[in-house]
């Protein structure tokens, strides 16, 4: 079934979710849970305010720089680890540490080492995203059929040609999947560092609205962050489809 074929089901699911939210908020919500219509109205008002756009700009500075760092380091690192198993033995333990370590525990260490400015936010976003990028890039290289490499060698291909003609094209789908998954992790890191490390930008807005008991504005800010994350993931999915020529769910 094509993605267009999924659209009616997605719309139906959204309608059920919106109606359920509206009914529950009116019956049991009270002051702390706004209705769906109140949240939509607050979202529209926020999108027309300079305060939100200033917060989005500040947050996305860390998001763009941190994610670019994660991709710029993670993709080459993952490819190299997938190609050379000896290097992987040294790096694997550190990847496992990043996978199991609660990222909130890293925030005080970053604050003590690099301060509480943009650099710390960029580093945390990169740490959040880089694991997905490295792991998927490594898996992409590993899943290349070894017989293709041997066949390329039999035709006289050197290491550079094996990389450019066999390994990288074969690993590209997995690399793009890692980038797509890394975007979601990067958005999570962006918000978490602003909530727990420094009350600024979108995280600062959320803390302000929570302190003033402005539930519609708080929920609206969360909805806008989710909408941005979904938009970025959709762009990454589109790029993956164009580069790899395959359907992406």
Q: DSSP states of 134-162 as a string?
A: HHHHHHHHHTS-HHHHHHHHHTT--HHHH
Does residue 52 sit in helix, strand or coil?
A: helix
The alpha carbon of 120 is separated from its chain's Cα centroid by a whole number of angstroms, namely 18
pLDDT at 217: 94
The alpha carbon of 123 is separated from its chain's Cα centroid by a whole number of angstroms, namely 14
Query: Closest by alpha carbon to 182, among 228, 234, 128?
Result: 128
Determine, yes or no, domain membership for 5.
no
Determine, yes or no, domain membership for 128.
yes
Interacting residues of 59 by C-beta distance below 8 A, sequence separation 6+: 190, 191, 194, 201, 202, 203
Determine, yes or no, domain membership for 12.
no
**Helix and strand totals (H; E) in the chain:** 11, 0
> Are residues 177 and 136 in contact, defined by beta-carbon separation less than 8 angstroms?
yes
From first to last of its 249 residues, what are the pLDDT tens digits of the chain?
445 567 788 888 989 999 999 999 988 877 788 999 999 999 999 999 999 999 999 999 999 999 999 999 999 999 988 888 788 788 888 888 888 878 777 888 888 888 888 888 899 999 999 999 999 999 998 888 878 878 888 877 777 888 888 888 888 989 999 999 999 999 998 998 888 877 778 988 999 999 898 999 999 999 999 999 999 999 988 888 888 765 555
Determine, yes or no, domain membership for 52.
yes
Determine, yes or no, domain membership for 214.
yes
| CA distance linking residue 129 with residue 141, whole number of Å | 19
Q: Which residue segment(s) compose the domain that 128 sits in? A: 17-22+34-244
Determine, yes or no, domain membership for 1.
no
Residue 78: count other Cβ atoms within 10 Å of its Cβ.
30
Give how many domains the chain has, as a whole number: 1
CA distances from 243 to 173, 238, 239 (A): 8, 9, 6
Determine, yes or no, domain membership for 79.
yes
Query: What CATH number is attached to the domain comprising 112?
Result: 1.10.3720.10
pLDDT at 1: 44
Residue 2: count other Cβ atoms within 10 Å of its Cβ.
7
Half-sphere exposure of 104 (CA within 13 A, CB side): 4
Burial of 167 (0-12, 13-18, 19+ CB in 10 A): buried
Determine, yes or no, domain membership for 27.
no
């Amino acid at each position: 079934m094509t993605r267009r074929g999924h659209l009616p089901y997605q719309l139906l699911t959204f309608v059920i979710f919106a109606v359920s939210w509206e009914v529950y908020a009116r019956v049991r919500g009270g002051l702390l849970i706004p209705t769906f219509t109140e949240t939509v109205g607050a979202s529209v008002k926020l999108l027309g305010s300079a305060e939100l756009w200033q917060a989005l700009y500040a947050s996305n500075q860390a998001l763009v720089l941190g994610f670019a760092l994660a991709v710029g380091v993670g993709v080459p690192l993952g490819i190299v680890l997938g190609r050379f198993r000896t290097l992987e033995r040294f790096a694997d333990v550190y990847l496992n540490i990043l996978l199991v370590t609660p990222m909130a525990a890293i925030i005080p260490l970053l604050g003590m080492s690099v301060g509480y400015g943009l650099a710390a936010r960029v580093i945390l976003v990169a740490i959040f995203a880089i694991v997905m990028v490295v792991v998927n890039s490594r898996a992409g290289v590993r899943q290349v059929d070894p017989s293709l490499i041997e066949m390329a060698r039999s035709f006289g291909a050197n290491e550079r040609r094996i990389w450019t003609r066999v390994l990288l094209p074969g690993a590209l789908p997995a690399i793009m999947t890692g980038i797509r998954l890394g975007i979601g992790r990067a958005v999570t890191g962006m918000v978490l560092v602003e909530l727990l490390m420094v009350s600024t930008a979108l995280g600062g807005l959320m803390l302000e609205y929570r302190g003033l008991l402005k539930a519609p504005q708080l929920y609206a800010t969360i909805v806008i962050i989710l909408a941005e994350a979904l938009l970025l993931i959709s762009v990454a999915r589109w790029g993956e489809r164009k580069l790899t020529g395959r359907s992406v769910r």
